[in-house]
């Protein structure tokens, strides 16, 4: 499925479950947001704003 969070450790890529930029956001939540944003960007932004509050 789509995006894979990858990080280089000792010159080898390893998959990570969280973004280094947004460590509080689990990979599955990011997948769901990106999928929704592709279908309905306005709804995705509204849901993101609600989640942030």
Per-chain mean pLDDT for the chain:
82
pTM beyond 0.85: the answer is: no
Q: Is the pLDDT of residue 38 over 80?
A: yes
Pairing of strands 6-9, 12-15: antiparallel
pLDDT in tens, 17-29: 777 777 887 778 8
Give the integer Cα–Cα distance in Å for 4 and 1.
8
Give the distance, in angstroms, between the CA of residue 19 and the centroid of all CA atoms in the same chain: 7
């Amino acid at each position: 499925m789509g995006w894979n969070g990858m990080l280089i450790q000792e010159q080898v890529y390893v998959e990570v479950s969280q973004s280094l930029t947004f460590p509080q956001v689990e990979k599955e939540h990011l997948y769901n947001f990106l999928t929704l944003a592709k279908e309905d960007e306005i709804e995705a932004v509204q849901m993101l704003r609600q989640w942030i509050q």
